[in-house]
Amino acid sequence: MGNWKIWMKKGSISLVAALVLVTVAQPMSSHAYAAEINAEIPQVIEKASPSVVAIIGKPSSEMDKSLEKNRFNLAHGTGVIVASNGVIVTNAHVVKNMKNIVVVTSEGTTYRGHASNIDEESDLALVKIDATGLQPATFASSSDIKVGETVAAIGTPISFALRNSVTVGIVSGLDRSVSSQYQLIQTDAAINPGNSGGALINMKGEVIGINTMKYADIGVENLGFAIPVDTVKYVLEHFELYGKVKRAYTGLELEESWEAVVGLPSSTGLRVTYVDADSPAAEAGIEQDEILVSVGPNSVKTLVDYNEAIKKYSPGQSVDIQLQSGSTTLTKAVKLGELHSTETTLTEDAEGSSLDADSGKTKIGDSHFGWSMKYPAGLVKTQQSDDGDSVSFVDAKGEFALSIQVDSEQSDELSAAALLTKIAGDDDSEYSGYADSSTILERQYVKRAGSPYAKIVSRSGDDGYIQTRGYLQGGRLYTVKLFVTKEQYTNRSKQNSYNDLLDSFKLDFNTADNSLKDISVFNSDDVTYTSEYGLSIDLPADWEQDHRGGNSFYNEDYSQTVQVHVTSASSGDTLTEWVGREIGEFEAQYRADYRRADKPIEVTVDGVPAWQVGFASSLGDEWYAGSSLFFIKDKYKYEVQMTYPQDDQSDELEMFWDNVVASISVDKETMDGELGFIQDLDELADPDRTVLYKNEKWGYTVRIPENWTTSGSYDGNDPTTKSFTFTGGYLRIEADSKKVYTEVLKDAEEEHVESHSNDSDYSYSSEDVTLFGDVKAKKYTVNYLKAHIPYAETVYLFNRKQVTYTVTLRIDAAVSTDANVARVNKAFASFIFVNGAGGK
């Protein structure tokens, strides 16, 4: 199918030796041998091909549901019939997340199908169709497969129209270790996208493997891989017995030797890098750093060797594992457990859905913008803007491209001349080339009853022809453009069909017409967002998610925000203690006159107790308010927080928040299966813990609280300016060896005088001080309490060995708590000259 595995391990191979061996082994000329093989192939294919089917379906996507509505968003692969009653084996990567599966047999019979079993580790799956009397494939014995023997691959390469295509080659190698859990067969029979899941057969018509991947790289051809028949039989047997593959579990994590990693024959076994506690290996006494040499009678040098050996045993069985511990060889009996891996969720088809998402639809349009037109079977939507005012289509065969643009707030009083001028001026689409290089072939105003339009036909060099039509209605300008290549435009019958398509465009959308497909993306209902942490939340359609797909959401003007924070509940932690810590941290961050924290209100969210806390804070003359919802479920702590300008506070906004809270739910089944313990960093944070910063070039160190953030000028690892910031303040150190110290002092004084002159509320004082025992300095103390964000600032200027240092300590009034002020002053007090330097 389209999503192909690409093996990127590079290598080289020569077939000369294999060909020579074949020639020597046969008492005939190479030409006679080739003729015999070529004569066999049609008979072999005639025997085997009826057992090979083509599989097509719609890939499903949780991230983009619109893909499922695109009739051309299809993926395909191949399968092999293993039972006459409609059981088909294929690759797991072919049918995983595939909906509306359709299976087509070699003679062209079509069946609806569904994936019944999937095993991603082996990349094998079963598809079931409702059929009888099918011809199952015959499987070869793995011991009969030889390097150099002629084989054929049967599949559906590139296009679904190329079903049961055949390529011929040889077995290039056996027991290959590629990006796979098990060994693979290597072949030079061409295996192209779409061949996945197809049969690799010998010249008896027997299946020796299921095609799974190819090596794709520039300059490399005919390097494909198939899953060997013994692995296929192993997986099929488990599917039949258990509905899944039951794998033995030891609890070991193993590491290959350097030789094995690079592909050299390895002289050692596998190093034990980790032993799971309470695992079978731990109970048997296997220890870290021991070397695993064999599993039962099977020597293991690579991870694939190990997997192949373990594959021969079932959970509950015992096996002797030989290890090397220093110079001692040990044998330990391990009673195998069962490996519990995350089961692949089987994709269900929607009731009444079909492979063609637009079955029965002969027209297409947008109900919100009120237009419709014919919907040819080959019309493919390629792009649509977020609000739907722009949409582009192409023909599936590449004959034409079509775009529709809707511009609102237009005057309905435009004259015919003005409308023609307007659509001509807009003729700078991606298809038109340079507008001034286009030749206008036709320009007229067509007085069609009900919906007159402006029409311009132009030729853009040798690229092709563009027909543009413009319609005015209800304060909107609808611009329809059709781009056709020169070859298609000069074909009269084609030209008539293009004009018929354009003529079908109407400023009308009949909601009662079941044959009309609505592509409107306008949505007035709430949208449900579900995170990998299992939390679902409903927000208005005009809100948008963080562009990185994160847990932040914003309204249209970004003034209102909803954020979700998820961490694990530490052992013994309670909702009451957690909320108490959060309120305490908030109150410690701001002065009392710049914050407000309401008394927590007890509510219920998704059946569990929750606390809701209203809050507000400000750094100056603008206040921001919000509400935080806290609850613990399934060992995770969830905080959902809304913030907004306090001036926006209203009954309507309160109702909005109540609806958001009511929509919240947590479903353990939708959580990412790999979620583990997520530490709440606030539990570990110490606001008074410091780290050392050292600037070698400018000769100083300073100790800074580790939760402050840093930035510096772009001049190397030891910047001339280094800033350490926290919410509402910073400590900045600047070093300058170019300006004379007296000039720096003069400039600083002038800046302060000018600032006070411009605003009398800007007050400052200066004094001479001594720092670090013997360093003479100028100290400026600034207070600007009437500023948009009031602040206090202390600036020290001093000189050491022809370098002038300017250190600024700034803190906004809102966060000037005793603790924050003490941290800033302590940080500056830690400033030390190093290397006997005050400069370079």
CB atoms within 10 A of CB 166: 19
Phi/psi zone of residue 592: left (φ > 0), alpha (ψ -120 to 50 degrees), beta?
A: alpha
SS3 state at 814:
helix
Report the b/e string of 751-779 with b at 16+ CB within 10 A: ebeeeeeeeeebebebeeeebeeebebbb
Q: According to DSSP H, which parts of 460-574 are helical?
A: 486-489, 492-503
β-strand pairing of 363-366 with 516-518: parallel
SS3 state at 432:
coil
* Sign of the Cα pseudo-torsion (585, 587, 588, 590, in order): positive
Cα distance between residue 684 and residue 404, in whole Å: 56
Closest Cα partner for 697 from 669, 726, 670, 718? Answer: 718
DSSP sequence for 67-129? GGG-TT--EEEEEEEEETTTEEEE-HHHHTTEEEEEEE-TT--EEEEEEEEEETTTTEEEEEE
Closest Cα partner for 543 from 535, 551, 531, 553? Answer: 553
Strand order of the β-sheet with 709-712 is 709-712, 721-726, 729-736, 803-812, 791-800, 775-784, 763-771
CB atoms within 10 A of CB 546: 12
**β-sheet bridge partners, residue 275:** 252
Cα distance between residue 391 and residue 58, in whole Å: 22
Closest Cα partner for 180 from 206, 219, 215? Answer: 215
Q: What are phi and psi of 227, to 5 degrees?
A: -80, 125
SS3 state at 630:
strand
Cα distance between residue 312 and residue 543, in whole Å: 55
E strands, 363-420, where?
A: 363-366, 371-374, 379-384, 390-395, 400-407
Catalytic residue numbers?
Answer: 93, 123, 196
Spatial contact of 471 and 477, defined as CB atoms under 8 Å apart = yes
* Sign of the Cα pseudo-torsion (521, 525, 529, 530, in order): negative
Question: Quick one: tokens of 716?
Answer: 């190397």
